[in-house]
Structures are given as structure tokens and as C-alpha cells.
Structure 1
Amino acid sequence: MGDNMISQLTYKEYLAVTVPFMLSTATQPLLGAVNTAIMGHMSEAFYIAAVSLGVILFNNIYWLFGFLRVSTTSFSAQALGEACEERRFLALFRPLIIAIVISILFIIIYPFIFSYYAEFMQPQAQVIELMRRYCDIVIWGAPFVLLNYVMLGWLMGQMIIRYTMFMQISMNVVNIILSFAFVFMLKMDIEGVAYASLVAQIYGCIVGFVAIYFRGKLKLSPQYVAQLKKIKPFLSMMKVNTDLMLRTICLLTINNLFAMAGSSLGTTTLAANAVILEIIFILVYFIDGMANGVSVFAGKALGTKDKQLLSRTLQIGLRCLAVFIAAGLIVVYLSRSYLISIMTNLPEVSLYADDYSIFLVIHPICAGVGLLLYGIYTGIGQTASIRNMMFIAVIFFYICQNILMGYFGNYGIWMTYSLTYLLESAILVLFLPQLKRKF
């Protein structure tokens, strides 16, 4: 494909790359929604609250090191472009070693993390006990989750897209099937959801290694292995991701403040907010998958110094985003009562959640543009703008929530959450002229 052809990016070319990312990315919140729904059909709201808090805890841990996937994709793609076997090998095994070290540290300090988290969130005693039963099992999946991040990133960088789709989608399908089987057929209660997640993570890790073995065609040599003994490249790899780590810390701070505020209003509020949030996440993760596709074309634009391709990518991306959000919100809002009933059959939770269902429409509209632009910024490597935007967002969220929650209660919490994402979208739009300086 020549430079002119690249500049004249078509919707077909854009969707051919973006749709697979959207489908595979969207399975992640679907898994969370299914687990929440399963717990929502237990006897008490404590189950939803416990699983939602447990999921937030492990998202805090895993999202913090989500750069393992992003950076591995970058290093893997560079190695592929250079056709360098040694770099292909190191692009996989260096982050694999980092992932193993991080996961071992988390398992060691997990008891302290759990105790601090429970004290920080201050849920009811029944919720803490159920959350402990859930988390004590899920923690053993930490090595497999982080290894999966690395393998997914490496496969994506090598353009082995079909296997990355299969790995992500099949892993989540296995998790969903096992959750139903363990909880409803084997009567394993909240432990059933935890064991289903653990088994699925192990399964995903096996699929990843099989895909790399058969499709990666890595060459091994003592010279390559010797390079793994050098410490400096590991430190450089960590330094590259500082901005993304800081962005994730800010994002997690907002999510924790949101959950803590809901928890302070009682278990029913916490459970209802979890139900609404899981439905929102399905739409949001589709948009996140779209951002991954946008990131690919933005990176190509930078590589060829093609400002026209960047503009075309932004134009097509925003148009497709508008169509998707319009269609998605119509479906979600019209079926909101049905979706909530799937998530829980507890009357007090479903009625309370229905009161806040308007945010199923408001939040994706506020967040959509910012989420898409995140893909543009990461593709070009303009991560400082993302970091600065998140610093502003955290300060805004903290101040705004303290004000609005006092006046509007739980509505104030949701208003703050959506307004924060609207602010993020606006800031990234304002930073767009800085991107063009890279060209």
C-alpha cells in the first residue's frame, strides 16, 4: 500500500482493523456483567457488593500494569518491522520476566493489600467476609493475568490478530460458562465465580503460549538468552511507561472514590451502582476497542509523517463513534429494565438501579470522544498530554463529588463521574494541536 493509498484511508480498511479489537475488548466487561448478574440472583445484595468490590480491587492491581500489554505491542511491532529475530525474542521475554516478578510480589503482599482495602472502603461485615472468600482464590490468578497481558501484546504487535481475538474471547466464554456451572449446578456460591475466573486465566495463558509456539516462530539462541541478564534494558522499558502508569493511578483513584462514595450510602446503593456501571462498561469497552484500532493508524501516520492520514483517521473514527454511540444508546436505554433484571432479581436493588438508568445514556456521550482520542494520543506516543489530563480530572472529581454529593446524594456521585469524563474529552480535544507538532 503506497503512501497515497494510506492517506486515503477507507471505512472498510478502518473497520477491518477496528472491529476485531472491539469484539475482543468488549468481552471483558461482559464477563464482569455476567459475574455481577450471577451474584445478583443470590439471596442477598451482599453478594453483588462483595464481587463488585473484589473486581475493583483486582482491577486496581491489574490496570496499574496494563502498560505491559501496550508497551509489549509497541516493542513487538518495532521488532517485526526491523525483521530482527533477537528483538522479537527480547520483546516477549523481557516483559514476561517483569510480569512474573510483579505477580510474585503481589501474592506476597496481598494480605496487607486486602486489609487496607477493606478498611478504606468500609463495607458491612457480611460484605467483607464474602469479599475475602472471593479474593483469597482470585489472587492466585495474578501471574496468569499479567502473563496474558504480555502474550496478547506480543501477538498484536506481530499482527497475529486472529489468535489474539480467539485468546481473549474464548477465555471469557470459558469463564462465563464455568461461572454458571460452578454457582448454579455445583452450588459453589461466591467461590464458584472466583474459581471460574482462575481456571479461565490459566486456560488463556495456555492458549497464548500455544499461539506463540505455533505462529510466533521464535528462534532461541544462547546469545538471546544472555541479553536477558542485562538490567539496563529492563529499567528503560519501565521508564517508557511512567506516563501511562501515572494515568492509570489517576483513573483508579477516580474509580475508588466513586466506589467509596457509593459504599458510604449503604450496600443497596453500592450494589445498584455496580449494576449500572457494568452495563455502561459494555458500551465503553466497545469504544475502547475502537480506540485500539485508531491507535494503529495513528502510529502508521507518525511513522510515515503523514498528517493527512492522521486527519483521516480522526475523521473516520469520530464518525463511526457517533454512529455506534447513537445505535448503542437507543438499544441500551429501551432495554434498560430488562438489562437490570438480568443483572439482579433483588427488588430493592433493581428499583434503585432503575432510578439512575439515565446515566446509561449520559455517561457514554460524555466519555466517548475522550476514549477515542486516547487511542490517537497513545498511537503517536503523546502520553504526557494524557498524564496531564488525568491529573486535572482527579482534582476536578474530588472537588466536584464533595460538592454535588452533599446536594444530590447518589445522583451527585453519578453527575460527578460523567462530568469528569466530559472534562477529559474536552481537554484532549484542546490538546490536539500539540499532536500535529510531531509531524
Structure 2
Amino acid sequence: MNRRAPAHRDIWQLAWPMMLSNLSIPLLGAVDTAILGHLPSPVYLGAVTVGGSLLSLLFWSFGFLRMGTTSVAARAEGANDRAGLHQVLVQSLSLALALALALMVIGPWLLAPALAWMGPSPEVQGLALEYARIRLWGAPASLMNFALVGWFIGRQDTRRPLAILFTTNGLNIVLDALLILGFGLNSEGAAWASVLAEYGGLTLGLWLVARTLHRLNLGRGQPSLLGEVTRWRAYGRLMRVNRHLFVRTLCLLSVFVFFAAQGARMGNHILAANAILLQFLLLTSYALDGFAHAAEALTGRAIGAGRIGDFHLATRRSTLWALGCSVLISAVFVLGAPWWPTVFTSQPEVLDIVRAHYVWVCLIPLVGVWGYQLDGIFLGSGQTAAMQYTVLIATGAVFAPLWWWLQPLGNQGLWLAFVVFNGARGALLGGAYYHLTRKGGWLAFK
């Protein structure tokens, strides 16, 4: 097994496939936004924004399946625990399927009251409800893909997640064009495109993981598939990590949904403008997440092997690259300010609002990079409790009171509170990093 210290080359070998695959996700959202944003009415874009935010809350509430699987698998890889690698894969996929089926049963009862609370116009609300109900059919594929991608990243294999996510999002873009432009299905077509693409990605992912298990002889000599699934006591490590990540993810998504809801209450044009502005945020976060994923895999391997020096080296080197990338992204946004917004919409009212708020787009990369990168470091090391508590503080003690105080500023105040929230996450995690380093607590979850 390779025990050498993590080099800059290792970081890039892990980061670039995830950066490409992650960028395909906001690219998909950008294509949705561009296609729907050029339709005669803003209600279709508003419906996908509101319905998509709600489905993101439901699906990404279970995003711990990706992160928790990565955390446990990375440490098993570092410890050369082949049985543990097989076990976390089987149990993560089983947990994902069980949660998805429960979501499909419970979800339809939650959608209408949740959309009513978000407060969009009646026309947008009806289309958003239709969109969300269709998207629920993709829950098993979406959640199982989380587990598959997380397992591959934990093994420091980011090329197969690249294939899965590129396939999923490529299919989605093609199906968007076919169903929205070809068949005129508008927001309903965007929903069916997402569902069909998720199952296409899952099919490829299961084939890739089967080949990997066969190549590495993982699972040979282990309990049967049913035996792994029903080893209830063995779920303890996975569930401990996932419990913290569930709370953390729920807080983050609650802020996003609240953000979308406040925009919806300010009118369809502000709702559509915020949807466009958030595409820049997603481009930023998914690009920087490539280095966060590299940090997850490398720090997890170092902790699993008990090599604290390699842990700190991986932390410093991956963070250096992330900072450089954030400066580059911000510069691209600043230089492209005159024409980037016109890529997404041709509606004059929406375009004016986007340009008036564009400064927040330029600040987000520099403010948010710290939270993204430290998330990866804490996740890889298994220190997920700190992730939970810091985001709870950032949500309850920073974002909520600041938004309340800034309400007279309208949408500008909403964006200011959101940007400060992202900065607070990074500052709080930075404090937790310093504390753990001082007391030598990083090997607690080896």
C-alpha cells in the first residue's frame, strides 16, 4: 500500500476529476436556467427554482450518505481494512435505498404545505408542486448515487465518480433540450429529464462498482450480501458520522430554502434573478469542492494510517490550491461582469436585478473557500461533530438575526446575510481546527 506523504501531484490527481464532475452539476443548472430563462414567462424558471430548492432540501438532507461513506471508507483505506471497505459500501447502499423508499412514501404529503410556506405566486406554486412530485420518483437513484460516489472518493478514486456524474448530467442536459424545447413540456420536462438521468447514472455506477469489487477481490471471504445488510451492530460507526452530517446538511439546506422562499415572496422577477445569481454560487462551490474532496481522501487516509504529519501536510497543500482557485474564480467573475448575466436571461427586468446584486457573486469565492475546504478536512478525519455544531451556530446566531436586522434592505440585505453566513462557517471551523491541533485530538476517530 502507498504510504508516502501526500504531494501536490496527489492533490491534483484527486481534485481535477472531481472539479470537472462537480462543474457539470451547476452546468446542468445553468442549462436549465438558460433554457427556461429565455421562455416568454418567468414562471417556469421560478417553478423549477422553488421546486428544485425543495427537492434539494429533501434529497441533500441525505447528502450525509455521500460524505459519511467517504469518511469511513477513507479511513478504512488508510488502515488497509478490506473487510471494512466492503462493509461500508453494502451498508451505505442499503441505507440509501431504505431512506429513498421512505421518502417516496412520505414526500408527497410534505410537498404542498412546504410550497405554501415558501409563498410563491399561485401560478408558480402549481407548477412547482408538479415538478417536485415528478422528481420524487428519482429518489432511489439519487440517494444510491450519493453512496457510490462517496465510496469511490474514499478509496481515492475520483475518475469513476467523474464518469457517473458526467453521464448523469450529460443525459440531463440532452433530455432537457429534448423535453423542454422539443416537446414543449417546460418545467415538467425539466423534472422528467432529471429523473431519467439519475437512473442512467445509477446504472453506470453499479456496473463500475461491480467491476472494482471483482478486480480487488473485495467481498471474497466476507459475509453474504444479506449478512452484511443485517449486521445491525456494524452500522454504528457509519451512523455516528451520518448523524452529525445530517444535522449539518439540514442546516445548510434550510438556509438555502429560506433564501429561495424570501426571494419568492419579493416577486417573480427577484425570484428568477436570485436563481441566476445562485448559479454563480454553485459554480464556485462545486469547483472548490474538488480540493475539498482531495482533502477528504488524503486526510482520511492519513488518519486511518495514524500519520499525523501526513494529515497536516495534506491540509496545508490542498488549502493552498483551494485559495489560489478561489482568487482565480473571483477574477473571472469580475472581468466577465458586463456579459455573464446575459448568458442566463434576456428579460430586461430580471437582468437589471442580477446586475444590481452582482457584487455578491464576486465576493462569494473569497469568503466561502474556507468553509468548503475545512469541511473536507473535518470530514476526512471523522471530526463531524465539529461540523454539526459550527453550522448550527452560524445558522442560529449569525444568519437568522442578521437577516432579521437587514430586512429593510430587501434582497440586498438577504444576500449580505447569506455571504456573512458563509464566512462565519469558515471562521468557526478554523477555530475548531486550531483547538483540535493544540490538544492533539485529530487521531480520536482513527
Is this a same-fold pair by TM over 0.5? yes
Query: Residue type matched to 1:438 in 2?
Result: G
Show the counterpart of 1:16.
13
Show the counterpart of 1:383.
384
Task: Say which is worse superposed, 159-168 or 290-299, in terms of deviation.
Answer: 159-168
Show the counterpart of 1:253.
254
Secondary structure class of the residue paired with 1:120: helix
Offset at residue 20 of structure 1 (A): 1.7
Instruction: Supply the RMSD in Å over aligned alpha carbons.
Output: 2.2
Cα distance 1:145–1:418, how it changes in 2: closer, same or farther (>3 A)?
same
Show the counterpart of 1:398.
400
Cα distance 1:213–1:307, how it changes in 2: closer, same or farther (>3 A)?
closer
Matches of 1:160 and 1:369, distance apart in 2: 24
Matches of 2:227 and 2:382, distance apart in 1: 30
Offset at residue 142 of structure 1 (A): 0.5
Show the counterpart of 1:173.
170
Matches of 1:82 and 1:383, distance apart in 2: 19
Task: Say which is worse superposed, 292-301 or 282-291, in terms of deviation.
Answer: 292-301
Cα distance 1:324–1:78, how it changes in 2: closer, same or farther (>3 A)?
closer
Show the counterpart of 1:238.
239
Show the counterpart of 1:213.
210
Q: Show CA shifts across 1:378-413 (max 9, x none).
A: 11122222111111111211100011122x111100
Identical pairs, percent: 28
- Residues 26 and 289 in structure 1, CA contact (< 8 A), matched pair in contact too: no
- Which runs of structure 2 are paired with 1:218-229 in the superposition (5 Å)? 218-219=218-219, 223-224=223-224, 225-229=226-230
Structure 1: 5+ residue runs without aligned partners? Answer: none
Aligned pair partner of 2:104 in 102, 107, 110: 107
Aligned pair partner of 2:24 in 18, 22, 27: 27
Q: Does 1:370 align with 2:371?
A: yes
Q: Does 1:182 align with 2:184?
A: no
Query: Residue type matched to 1:183 in 2?
Result: I
Query: Residue type matched to 2:343 in 1?
Result: I
Show the counterpart of 2:415.
414
Show the counterpart of 1:267.
268
Offset at residue 125 of structure 1 (A): 0.4
Structure 2: 5+ residue runs without aligned partners? Answer: none
Show the counterpart of 1:438.
441
Aligned pair partner of 2:41 in 34, 41, 44: 44
Offset at residue 417 of structure 1 (A): 0.3
- Residues 91 and 228 in structure 2, CA contact (< 8 A), matched pair in contact too: no
Matches of 2:388 and 2:222, distance apart in 1: 39
Matches of 2:139 and 2:303, distance apart in 1: 35
- Residues 377 and 435 in structure 1, CA contact (< 8 A), matched pair in contact too: no
Q: Show CA shifts across 1:210-248 (max 9, x none).
A: 112222215478942334234333465323311111111
Query: Residue type matched to 1:402 in 2?
Result: W
Show the counterpart of 1:131.
128
- Residues 386 and 428 in structure 1, CA contact (< 8 A), matched pair in contact too: yes
Q: Show CA shifts across 1:36-82 (max 9, x none).
A: 22111111111111101111111101111111122223444455566
Secondary structure class of the residue paired with 1:241: helix
Offset at residue 140 of structure 1 (A): 0.3
Cα distance 1:389–1:86, how it changes in 2: closer, same or farther (>3 A)?
closer
- Residues 116 and 125 in structure 2, CA contact (< 8 A), matched pair in contact too: no
Secondary structure class of the residue paired with 2:358: coil
Matches of 2:345 and 2:362, distance apart in 1: 20
- Residues 389 and 428 in structure 1, CA contact (< 8 A), matched pair in contact too: yes
- Which runs of structure 2 are paired with 1:38-117 in the superposition (5 Å)? 38-77=35-74, 80=77, 86-117=83-114
Show the counterpart of 1:336.
337
Matches of 1:171 and 1:343, distance apart in 2: 22
Show the counterpart of 2:142.
145
Matches of 1:82 and 1:300, distance apart in 2: 7
Cα distance 1:381–1:221, how it changes in 2: closer, same or farther (>3 A)?
closer
Query: Residue type matched to 2:391 in 1?
Result: M
Q: Show CA shifts across 1:132-188 (max 9, x none).
A: 221221110011101111122223334443222111112111111211122112222
Count of equivalent residues: 435
Matches of 1:162 and 1:428, distance apart in 2: 29
Q: Does 1:348 align with 2:349?
A: yes
- Residues 45 and 271 in structure 1, CA contact (< 8 A), matched pair in contact too: yes
Query: Residue type matched to 1:19 in 2?
Result: W
Q: Show CA shifts across 1:240-287 (max 9, x none).
A: 311111111211221122122212211111111110011221011111
Query: Residue type matched to 2:310 in 1?
Result: L
Cα distance 1:10–1:234, how it changes in 2: closer, same or farther (>3 A)?
closer
